Amino acid sequence: MALLQIELPDGSVKSVEPGTTPYDIALTIGEGLARQSIAARFEGEMVDITLPLSTSGTLALITQNSPEALEIVRHSCAHLMAQAVKSLYGDEVQVTIGPAIKNGFYYDFYSDSKKFVPEDFPIIEAKMKELAKADQQVVREVMSRADAIDLFRGMGEEYKVELIEDLDAETVSLYRQGDFVDLCRGPHVPRTGMLKVFKLTSLAGAYWRGDENKAMLQRIYATAFVNKKELKAHLHHLEEARKRDHRRLGKEMDLFSFSEDAGNGLVLWHPKGAMLRTIIEDFERKEHLKRGYEIVVGPQILKTDLWKMSGHYENYRENMYFTEVDEQGYGIKPMNCLAHMLIYKSKPRSYRNLPIRYFELGTVYRHEKSGVLHGLLRVRGFTQDDAHIICQPSQIDAEVKGVMKFVQDVAGIFGFEYVMELSTRPEKSIGSDADWEQATSALKSALDDSGQAYELNEGDGAFYGPKIDVKLKDALDREWQCATIQCDFTLPERFDLTYVGADGEKHRPVMLHRVIVGSIERFIGVLIEHYAGNFPLWLSPVQAIVLNVTDNQAEYAQEVFEQLREAGIRVELDVRNEKLGFKIREAQLAKIPYMLVIGDREVENKTVAPRYRDGNNLDAVGVDDFINMVKTDSLNYK
């Protein structure tokens, strides 16, 4: 039998017998390398380290230090967690799916009797460690689809049966470790003993296959690393994220709330939160006006016929709310583009008018599933800094670059780094291939010219056009989808938008849909977590609070408060009969930048004693000097 020729990354070639595994090849190089190897890449495809090779090809070993290793370790840990759960709770629990994700892994379980709680985590982790210590072999098996269905049905794992029944394949691969077996493509680590560093982190609910009409599952989130140092750093990161959670800080700072009486996903903005929104919205208007945008306002509902014309009814209906007035159907707007097109069509347009940039802080409503609602980050009613640029095809490049510069400026003002993605045509879409190709090329060209690095996100564009998505990176290096730029040839066609060209003939414009921060609600949630609630002075809903030491200073405290308020400083007054330390702690909890403590000395000298929220005390200054200091600090965005 002819030997196989296996080429390694350094260009060397190993001649081996058919059936030799990547692990065997690793052993010929060194025992240490073999111990560290957890999988391999054969002919570019990820495979198990124990796969018997049957053809010649290129081989790269994946060790615990390889970039690909972490995903394999985490996916293997998902199986280990499922094995531990089944070992502990048996037929009481059914397993479904358990993938690796960006920061760890999860497994979804179904049970009509066992309700998982965080107190179960140490028990499950202990069983995982026991199974890992047993160093069970992880063995891949290939089985016919019919036999696999019989196997899992006999085990009472109906969710696995459903998955296999939906597969268009004659055979499936399974992985066994001890008495546990799971449906999986792999690859996995060869032994459970290689899984040593893991931690269960949280619980959540999830509908089976994301369908709210199907069973609710229990999702256990966890993470895994190849060493304890990385796990420790990750857990510290999670703790920091918990401290910054906008839902907790929003309550402590009295910014917003939610109420079952109002409805899920609908925000109630308290005075301080509404002030924060107002500051951001005023900032938005100012920044748009100086870049040549015109402010417009559209209605909250539009006839259903318009949503059918736009394609939203066919492609986006499940995300919309509908109502009826005088026997006429209306759709509550999930987007602002239709009204902007109607404004454009209200009179003839010339090429000399283009580009036209319409901007609206437009409130929209979208039908989000209850399971995905998450504080301000995912709501059903929100306001977008939405704009539509209607331009000639020759103007696309300059307009896209202008929006990208706008995004860059705003990200810098708020202290964000960001990454970009180019998302292409999805399977569910409208418009011609030629239009999609032209739109995609226009966005790609603008990105390439800018020198901005970006990733290609195939098939994730809007249904009417490709898009550039901008993901902000916050203080914890987490990514948040905010800005987007979408290039649309299709809706101008459907709504018969035209302009008169230099030749006197009618031509079809192009429309760019874009947001800079996106949802105001989501952006505020991101800002709270980015700043940990410690907003820069210009953005703080309350910039200073006046505190008296005793009732003897209440009158002067009132005078200072009124003087600051008249000067345009956002200020509060606290002259309650409470200890000064208590009032200071409350002000610090509310993240107010300046506390102005008024004692007998301040009354006598007509001064204030500023104390910053981090506890640092500043020298006593006159009230006018403090006002000038705040105004100077607020002149420039920080």
Catalytic residue numbers, as ranges: 337, 366, 384, 386, 388, 467, 513
Q: Is the dihedral of CA 458, 459, 464, 468 positive or negative?
A: negative
What one-character-per-residue DSSP string does 573-614 give?
EE--SS-HHHHHHHHHHTT-SEEEEE-HHHHHHTEEEEEETT
Q: How many CB atoms lie within 10 A of CB 495?
A: 18
SS3 of 306-349: HHHHHCHHHHCHHHCEEEEECCEEEEECCCCHHHHHHHHCCCCC
Residues 6+ apart with CB under 8 A from 458: 423, 424
Residue 57 burial by CB count (10 A; 0-12/13-18/19+): exposed, middle or buried? Answer: middle
**φ/ψ (deg, to 5) at 447:** -65, -45
Q: How many CB atoms lie within 10 A of CB 535?
A: 22
C-alpha distance from residue 378 to each of 62, 68, 184, 371 (Å): 38, 31, 32, 10
- Asked if 571 and 554 touch (Cβ cutoff 8 Å), the reply is no
Q: Distance (Å, rounded) from C-alpha 285 to C-alpha 299?
A: 19
Axis-axis angle for helices 228-244, 520-531 (nearest 10):
120
Q: Distance (Å, rounded) from C-alpha 112 to C-alpha 34?
A: 44
Q: What are 23's two structure tokens?
A: 């692990």
Question: What residue type is assigned to position 455 of the chain?
Answer: E
- Asked if 149 and 165 touch (Cβ cutoff 8 Å), the reply is yes
The kind and range of the H/E element at 363 are strand 356-365
Q: How many CB atoms lie within 10 A of CB 167?
A: 13
C-alpha distance from residue 150 to each of 147, 157, 503 (Å): 5, 10, 72
